[in-house]
Amino acid sequence: MTATLEREPQASPASPAPASPAPVSTEQQASGSSFYAAMRLLPPAERAAMFAIYAFCRKVDDIADEPGPTVEERRGELNRWRADLGALYAGAPPERIGFLAEHVSRFDLQHDDFLAIVDGMEMDVDGPIIAPSFDQLDLYCDRVASAVGRLSVHIFGMPRAEGLELAFHLGRALQLTNILRDLDEDAQMGRFYLPAEALAEAGIESREPLAIVGDRRIDRACRWVSAKAHEHYAKADAVLRARPSGRIRSPRLMGQVYSEILTKMEAEGWAPPRHRVSLPKMRLLWIVLRHGLVD
């Protein structure tokens, strides 16, 4: 998964597991997320649910990204998470997934959306993904990002139609932005998510990730993808501007921060050498305050 996730500290094997996960543990896991400030805008119950979803995403993301296990071992662990989800929705969750139970019930979170996230991680395990077709990339974005959005809009309390549309467009916009932001990190892992159509537009024939990110023509391929991301941001913004019911300050904050990061990347360009783009702290603070104080 291309979104940058802070790694969970590994507990000592001799340490006894807590009887039940404390809410603070999921918050600590989420505190390294780019979306932490947006989660903090939510009331306590909704905030705890978002932290739990983030914790789940990190657990399955680690299966795809942590070095060491074989492909078969990774697939096996993803299948165990699928089985745990099945048990959760059957009313008998294993201990390691119990932290989701209350939130699934309270917010009517859908089994299929959690399974889609696992399926997205399996795309990375079965890969590596290198220059997929745009349709394959779109499926990947749906599973690792828009599925999280579909869970989130339940928590935001949005009407179904508007919530699904927002999840579709904002999820894809955020994921494409992350892909453009993480080119070098992903290439070091042997992955390259820009679609084949974008590379063809730029005249790049190589399918070696490190060679592609070292090619100055990559800037043109990235702008092909950034145009797609802007289309999704615009459609997500149209949903939010219609002011649907629900707690929409959080997705507004997410969208503004990441759309500004995308715009800044465009201004600097993607030709090598690159650096990881972020917004100045004062700009981030202004955005958080604006969305924290204004509906």
3-state secondary structure 95-148: HHHHHHHHHHHHHCCCHHHHHHHHHHHHHHHHCCCECCCHHHHHHHHHHHHHHH
The band of 4, judged by pLDDT with boundaries at 50, 70 and 90, is very low
Q: DSSP state, 61? A: H
pLDDT of residue 284: 77
Q: Is the pLDDT at 106 greater than 50, yes or no?
A: yes
Give the whole-angstrom CA distance, residue 176 versus residue 51.
23
Q: Residue 95: pLDDT above 80? A: yes
We find that the CATH architecture of domain 23-293 is Orthogonal Bundle (1.10)
Q: What is the mean pLDDT of the chain?
A: 89
CA-based nearest residue to 103, from 144, 60, 152, 146: 152
According to the model, what pLDDT value does residue 281 have? 82
Predicted local confidence at residue 15, as pLDDT: 37
Give backbone dihedrals phi and psi of 248, rounded to 5 degrees, phi first: -100, 5
* pLDDT, tens digit (0-9, with 9 covering 90-100), for 211-225: 999 999 999 999 999
| Predicted local confidence at residue 289, as pLDDT | 77
C-alpha Rg value of the chain to the nearest Å: 19
In tens, the pLDDT along 168-201 reads: 999 999 999 999 999 999 999 999 999 999 999 9
| Total count of residues recorded for the chain | 295
Judge whether residue 46 has pLDDT over 50.
Answer: yes
Is pLDDT above 60 for 7? no
Q: How confident is the model at residue 283 (pLDDT cuts 50, 70, 90)?
A: confident
Averaged pLDDT, 114-135: 97
Residue 6: pLDDT band with limits 50, 70, 90: very low
Domain chopping of the chain, boundaries: 23-293
Higher pLDDT, 30 or 249: 249
